[in-house]
Amino acid sequence: MLIPAPIINEMKKLLFLCFILIPFSGNTAAQDTSAVYTQSYTILIDGSIAGKETVTEIIHENGNLLCTSEHEVDIRNPGKKRRRFFSTKMVLPEGEFFPVSYSYKSDVGISYNLSRTETQITSIIQRAEGSRKSTVPFNPDMVLLDPNIYHLYDYWIRKYDTGKRGLQALETFVPHTAVSTSIMAEAVIDSDLNLETQTLHLRSYRVEVPDVWTAALWVDNDNRLVRLFISGPDIEVIRTDLLPEIISEHPEQKRP
């Protein structure tokens, strides 16, 4: 049976419209999430640029925050240097600072995955020699910090009681060891970073794992990491867009 030419023409128009509308249909579905925060940090070791960290946060319709990060850093051993790559993914429930899931994956086969319920934290750590699974009780006052994943300080420091100030012990779960420990934090001196278009108010803290390491931490009014200096290994992390101003114009921001 022959199909009349007018009907064929209408079918061609509909088919053409389908190809146009399919991309828009996909974009509509993608609007279930929206990037609400992105940031990049420069990592310095012994004063020289050694790597970077980038982070993106997306809020889902259910209110959960999905935070992903990508990292690369030069690891210096005697006689050689190697660039390492790793990434993380974290899901924070709305209004909470301890994730329901957290994962870390590196280019050398080390990974760990954490999941949390209302009562316990389950961790699976994968290394070359095999995997290890452990479960520990969850304390609602606990906060998570992976010390070499620097954007996590954004949420870790929010457990500090700025009303009380003084030296405070923050019960901290460290995912690469799957144990909790007390990390000390103390508010020090507020300062201003004068930029061309604005003045950025900074709060500074002294952070310490007793007998292990000491750090100086600077955050903005939203508790977002601006600068971090860890003494001993002499690791410094600076928000990339502020790198020239912090290094050249603000030597008064002393390291520990």
The per-residue pLDDT for range 192-224, each reduced to its tens digit, is 888 878 888 999 999 999 888 999 999 999 999
Report d(CA 120, CA 158) in Å as an integer. Answer: 22
Mean pLDDT throughout 54-79? 91
Strands 65-77 and 101-106 turn out to be: unpaired
- 123-157 pLDDT, tens digit per residue, is 999 998 899 999 999 999 999 999 889 999 999 99
Task: Please tell me which residue, 14 or 66, carries the higher pLDDT value.
Answer: 66
- The whole-angstrom separation of Cα 12 and Cα 3 is 13
pLDDT in the model for residue 30:
42
Cα dihedral value 75, 247, 67, 158, nearest 10: 120
- At residue 34 the predicted structure's pLDDT band, cuts being 50, 70 and 90, is low
The mean pLDDT of the chain is: 84
Residues 150-196: tens digit of each pLDDT: 999 999 999 999 999 999 999 999 999 999 999 999 999 898 888 87
| CATH assignment, 33-249 | 2.50.20
Phi, psi of 146 (to 5 degrees): -105, 100
> CA 226 → CA 91, 219, 237, distances in Å?
22, 5, 8
Q: Which band of pLDDT confidence, cut at 50, 70 and 90, is reported for residue 23?
A: very low
Query: What region, left, alpha or beta, does residue 137 occupy, with left being phi > 0 and alpha being psi -120 to 50 degrees?
Result: beta
- Residues 80-100: what's their mean pLDDT? 93
If one compares 133 and 26, the residue with the highest pLDDT of the two is 133
Q: How confident is the model at residue 19 (pLDDT cuts 50, 70, 90)?
A: very low
Question: Percent of the chain at pLDDT above 70?
Answer: 82
Assign 84 a pLDDT band (cuts: 50, 70, 90). Answer: very high
Q: Where are the domains of the chain?
A: 33-249
Whole-number Å distance between alpha carbons of 110 and 177: 12
Residues 6+ apart with CB under 8 A from 184: 167, 168, 169, 170, 206, 207, 208, 209, 210
Cα separation, 187 vs 204, in Å, equals: 6
Residues 6+ apart with CB under 8 A from 61: 32, 33
pLDDT bracket for residue 232 (50, 70, 90): confident
Q: What pLDDT was estimated at residue 17?
A: 30
Q: Residue 256: is its pLDDT beyond 70? A: no
Burial 49-79 (b: 16+ CB within 10 A, else e): ebbebbbebbbeeeebbbbebebbbeeeeee
Task: Print burial letters for 167-192: b (CB count within 10 Å at least 16), e (below 16).
Answer: ebebebbebeebebeebbbebeeeee
Q: Count other Cβ atoms within 10 Å, centred on residue 86.
A: 19
DSSP state for residue 198 in the 8-state scheme: -
**Residue 149: how many CB atoms within 10 A of its CB?**
21
Query: Could you tell me if 183 and 172 are in contact, meaning their C-beta atoms sit under 8 angstroms apart?
Result: yes
Among 22-36, 72-86, 232-246, the least confident range: 22-36
